[in-house]
Each structure stands twice: as structure tokens, then as C-alpha cells.
């Protein structure tokens, strides 16, 4: 998660909570990794649309979601100021160490939301690709679906390859995921005075010990927050920011996709 005050480092993974990179990065067993961020190895069938956003050298630093044949949505803080030639996208590779799997695609254009450039709001960007992603696009929610699927207590899911410790260390080569639960705008505002309820979704993971929760972490930024709705898995949020330590006391905050549908559809070339 990056940006906004306490957490300005892009969390790329999505596995757990929000601003840190990977929400579910924890491996089985006891110890601080499981206790702090939690999570399980993800079923690739559940995350066919997920993308790793990587540097030109191939190092994954953020997550993303395929929204069109040649477009991926990610967090603005992951790519702001970057040149397209220095960023590429990896699809179909849940284990990043399996370099023969999936597809690596160069980026043609980076579009960062203008409100992020002006005021640090709307932490969202669209990457237009030079070739098809060869992965199914995630479903985008309507405003009504977003409202009904992100009420306090609703279960959500996040996934990524980010850090698996409270400080963001030990990123995972293997895609991890974890369950989170939406919390009220009022509760989120007690943790972040700059939280914007009309633009963001806030979620906590399960509390596994006093003030320690399953969460996303650094490296999960830009990855998908999913709601399992009657129509299918909906992309309701994008990993954006959280506390200074992953899963400790504070929830994760996600850029709200429904609030940015026009931007996404326009930049991704969707009808």
C-alpha cells in the first residue's frame, strides 16, 4: 500500500489487507508470519484475472487486475512517475518462480487518475498493454452492487505476492489470499482521519491475537479486493494503504472501484 501518510509504500500483493503487499502471505505453522498477516496459498482458479506488476528486470512490486483484453487496473501509487518501458505485467503465473508459466507483457501507456496527481486522491491507474493479457477480465461492480456487497460485516477476499511479516518482509513467490470483512466508515475514520468514505472501502481481517489481524501488506498494493456476489466475483477495491505495520491495530483501505468506473472504462476502452 502506498501513499496517504502512514503507509506510503505501495503494497503490492493482495493477499491480505490493504496497503501492505500481500494479504494472505502467511505460510502454515506457528510464528509471527502466520499470526500477523495470515492467509493461505491461493487457488489459481479463483484468481485467473490477477496480474503481477513488475519492473523491467522482472521484479514484482505491485498487483493488478485484468479488466480488458489489453488493460490492467492497479494503484496509482504503484506507477505514478514511471515510464511505460520500465513496467511490465505478468499474467497466468501464480508462482512467480515458475518463469515458464504465464505471459509477460510490455506496457504501452500508463494512465494515472488525475485526482491522484492533483490531490493524492483516487489511488487508481490503468495500464494499457502492448499485447493481449490472455487472461479473463474480472467483473466490475455497479454502484448498487458495490453498496450491497461492502456493508459492514460483509466478507471480502484479497490476494497478492507481498510481504508476509508486519514490517513487510519475506514476500511470497506463490500467490496468497485471505478473507477480510468490511467495516463501517465511522470505524475506519477512527483509524485514519483522511479516510474518504465516498472513494474508499475499509476492511479488517480476522483478529488472531490482541490487536493483530490478517491483512494485506507491502507489495500487495494495486491488487484486487473481491466480493463474491450473485453475478460472480466482483472487483470492489484496489489495495491502497493501511497502518505502518501490516495487520497491527489498523485496517486496510482500498480504492473503491465503483467510484472510478468511468475512468476505468474510458482508459481500458470498455463500452
Catalytic residue (choose from 65, 77, 122, 154):
77
Catalytic residue (choose from 111, 172, 216, 221):
221
Residue 39: which residues within 8 A CB-CB, separation 6 or more? 15, 16, 22, 23, 24, 25, 26, 164, 176, 177, 178, 214
What nine digits make up the cell of 141?
461492480
Catalytic residue (choose from 65, 123, 216, 220):
123
| Residue that has been written with the C-alpha cell 511490465 in this structure | 88
> Per residue, what are the HEC states of 21-43?
CCECCCCCCCCHHHHHCCCEECC
Q: Is 82 a catalytic residue?
A: no
Q: Quick one: CA dihedral 227, 228, 230, 232, positive or negative?
A: positive
What nine digits make up the cell of 256?
473503491
Half-sphere exposure for 228 (CA within 13 Å, toward CB): 9
Q: Is 123 a catalytic residue?
A: yes
Q: Is 221 a catalytic residue?
A: yes
Distance, in Å, from the CA atom of 65 to the CA atom of 2, rounded to the nearest integer, reads 17
Active site residues: 77, 123, 221
Amino acid at each position: 500500500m502506498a501513499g496517504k501518510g502512514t503507509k506510503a509504500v505501495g503494497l503490492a500483493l493482495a493477499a491480505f489487507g490493504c496497503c501492505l503487499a500481500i494479504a494472505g502471505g502467511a505460510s502454515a505453522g506457528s510464528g509471527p508470519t502466520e499470526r500477523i498477516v495470515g492467509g493461505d496459498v491461493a487457488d489459481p482458479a479463483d484468481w485467473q484475472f490477477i496480474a503481477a506488476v513488475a519492473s523491467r528486470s522482472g521484479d514484482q512490486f505491485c498487483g493488478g487486475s485484468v479488466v480488458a483484453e489489453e488493460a490492467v487496473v492497479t494503484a496509482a501509487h504503484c506507477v505514478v512517475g514511471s515510464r511505460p518501458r520500465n513496467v511490465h505485467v505478468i499474467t497466468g503465473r501464480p508462482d512467480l518462480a515458475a518463469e515458464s508459466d504465464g505471459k509477460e507483457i510490455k506496457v504501452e501507456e500508463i494512465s494515472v487518475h488525475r485526482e491522484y496527481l492533483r490531490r493524492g486522491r483516487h489511488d487508481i491507474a490503468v495500464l494499457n498493454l502492448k499485447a493481449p493479457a490472455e487472461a479473463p477480465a474480472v467483473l466490475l461492480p455497479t454502484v448498487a452492487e458495490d453498496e450491497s456487497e461492502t456493508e459492514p460485516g460483509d466478507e471480502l477476499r484479497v490476494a497478492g505476492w507481498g510481504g508476509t511479516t508486519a514490517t513487510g518482509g519475506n514476500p511470497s513467490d506463490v500467490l496468497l489470499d485471505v478473507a477480510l470483512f468490511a467495516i463501517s466508515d465511522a470505524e475506519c475514520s477512527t483509524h485514519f482521519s483522511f479516510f474518504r468514505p465516498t472513494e474508499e472501502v475499509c476492511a479488517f481481517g480476522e483478529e488472531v491475537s490482541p490487536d493483530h489481524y490478517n491483512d494485506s501488506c507491502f507489495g500487495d498494493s494495486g491488487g484486487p479486493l473481491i466480493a463474491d456476489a450473485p453475478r460472480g466475483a466482483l472487483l470492489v477495491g484496489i489495495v491502497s494503504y493501511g497502518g505502518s505495520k501490516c495487520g497491527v491495530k489498523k485496517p486496510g483501505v482500498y480504492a473503491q472501484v465503483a467510484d472510478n468506473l468511468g475512468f476505468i472504462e474510458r482508459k481500458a476502452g470498455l463500452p
